[in-house]
Chains A and B, each alone.
Chain A
Amino acid sequence: MSTNYWIGDSIGRVLGPLTLQSLRELIGSGRLKAVTRASRDGSSWEPIEQFNEVKDLLGTLKANPAAEAQQAARLRQQLSQMQGLPAHQLFGVKADAPVEELRGAFFRLAKRYSPEHQGQDTHPELRKVHAEVFELLSRRMREAEAQQAPARAPNAARGPQQQGGPVYTYSAEEFVGMQTRNDRLQVSVKVSTRNAGIFTDHRIINLQSGGLFLPTDKPIKLGTRVELVLDFEQQQKQIKLRSSVIWEYTLDDGKQPRGYGLGLADLRAEERSFIDEFLRGHRTGVPTTGR
Chain B
Amino acid sequence: MSTPTLLLVDDDRFVRNLLRDAIQESGLEVRLLEASDGQEGLEVAARERPAVMLLDLFMPRRSGLEVLAAMKDSSPDTRVLIISSMDAEPVVEQAMSAGAVGFVGKPFHPLEIALAVRQALAH
* Chain A interface (Cβ < 8 Å from any Cβ of B): 6, 9, 11-19, 21-22, 25-26, 29, 31-32, 42, 100-101, 103-104, 107-108, 111, 203-205, 208-211, 287-291
Contacts and interface: CB of A to CB of B under 8 A. Distances in A.
B89 interface: yes
Contacts of A15: 57-58, 63-65, 86
B17 to A, nearest CB: 7
Given A11-B60, A17-B66, A26-B86, 16 more contacts: A13-B58, A14-B58, A14-B59, A15-B64, A21-B90, A22-B91, A22-B94, A25-B89, A31-B85, A103-B111, A104-B115, A203-B110, A204-B107, A208-B14, A209-B107, A289-B14
Interface of B: 11-15, 17-18, 21, 38, 57-66, 85-91, 94, 105-112, 115
Contact of B13 (A9, A103, A287): A287
A32 B66 CA distance: 18
Contacts of A9: 58
Contacts of B64: 15
Contacts of B18: 203, 208
List 5 A-B pairs, minimum CB-CB distance, nearest first.
A209-B107, A290-B12, A25-B88, A12-B60, A22-B90
A213 to B, nearest CB: 12
A64 B115 CA distance: 36
Given A18-B91, A42-B66, A287 B17 contact: yes
Given A290-B14, A290-B15, A291-B85, A26 B115 contact: no
Nearest to A26: B88
B5 to A, nearest CB: 24
A122 to B, nearest CB: 14
A32 B106 CA distance: 13
B56 to A, nearest CB: 9
B74 to A, nearest CB: 17
Nearest to A22: B90
A58 B12 CA distance: 25
Nearest to B94: A22
Given A16-B65, A101-B115, A204-B109, A287 B58 contact: no
A92 B17 CA distance: 30
Contacts of B14: 208, 287-290
